[in-house]
Amino acid sequence: MNAGDELLDLLALRYSVGPKYLAPPAPSAAQWTRAAALASRAPDHGGLRPFRFVVVDDSQRDALAELFARGAQQRGQSTEEVKRARERAFNGPGLVALIARVRADLADVPPHEQWLCVGAALMNFMNALHLMGFGAKALSGASVSDPAVHQAFCGPGERLANWVIVGCPTRATHPRGLSIPAVEPDDLLLPWAG
């Protein structure tokens, strides 16, 4: 088996790891940088680089929890739900926000092509973390579109695409047993009907 084959097998073993199964440590600064560097190798029509990563430090979790809790309150959620919203700020030993900046004013690179680039970057970011031995999961939910969170993370024309939580997996990663594909598997790759 050559190096490429081994890598393919190793990449295919990447599964999302939820917050319950992520233990410290978080990636080091050098490891975040390496993951972001691989992300920046995504195909990028027009060279727009329509994404960036923002790392939330441990010392900032309380401030983030406050934002999450206030958002949940403003959405009229119950005390229990507000508590859970607050707790989400502490998910993952490592926490990063993926920020997308998708422009609508480019004839040659329509928004969906820019989203493809952001998604490709996310994939390589997670691939890099996986290859460094980390588990990770992309998470969204109400917080990514909360106005106060938006203001705290995004500049003009930007939006918070999703969070990525990262840490050391405390059990072997495995496919989500309950995931049922919405479409026939054999639809994934077909010859052109012509």
Tokens, residue 126: 């997670």
Q: Which is nearer to a second copy, 73 or 115 (CB)?
A: 115
Q: If binding is defined by CB under 8 A, does position 97 make contact with a second copy?
A: yes
57/87 with CB nearer a second copy: 57
Please count the CA atoms within 13 angstroms of the CA of 106 that sit on its side-chain side: 15
The Cβ of residue 67 has, within 10 Å, a number of other Cβ atoms equal to 20
CB of 76 to a second copy, least distance (A): 16
91 counts as binding a second copy under rule CB under 8 A? no
The CB-of-66 to a second copy minimum distance in angstroms stands at 11
Judged by CB under 8 A, the chain residues 151 through 180 that form the site for a second copy are 152-153, 159, 161-162, 176, 179-180
What CA–CA distance (Å, rounded) separates 47 from 106?
A: 12
Beta strands in 119-170 (DSSP E): 135-139, 158-169
Q: For residue 118, which of 5, 191, 39 has the smallest C-alpha distance?
A: 39
Residue 94's H or E segment, with its range, is strand 94-101
Alpha-carbon gap, residue 97 to 54, rounded angstroms: 5
Residue 76 interacts with a second copy (CB under 8 A): yes or no: no
CA distances from 74 to 18, 60, 91, 139, 161 (A): 27, 21, 22, 21, 21
In the complex with a second copy, which residue's Cβ is closer, 12 or 79? 12
Q: According to the binding rule CB under 8 A, does residue 70 interact with a second copy?
A: no
- Indicate the residue among 73 and 142 with the shorter CB distance to a second copy: 142
Q: Smallest gap, in angstroms, from Cβ of residue 167 to a second copy?
A: 16
Site for a second copy in 17-46 (CB under 8 A): 32-34, 36-43, 45-46
Taking the complex as a whole, the smallest distance from the CB of residue 172 to a second copy amounts, in Å, to 16
Please report, as residue ranges, which positions from 110 to 129 form the binding site for a second copy (by CB under 8 A): 112-113, 115-124, 126-128
Q: Residue 68 Cβ, how far from a second copy at the closest point, in Å?
A: 14
Question: What does each C-alpha distance from 15 to 1, 4, 47, 176 come to in angstroms?
Answer: 23, 19, 29, 8
Complex with a second copy: residue 79 or 188, whichever CB lies closer: 188
Q: Which two tokens stand for residue 42?
A: 């995504």
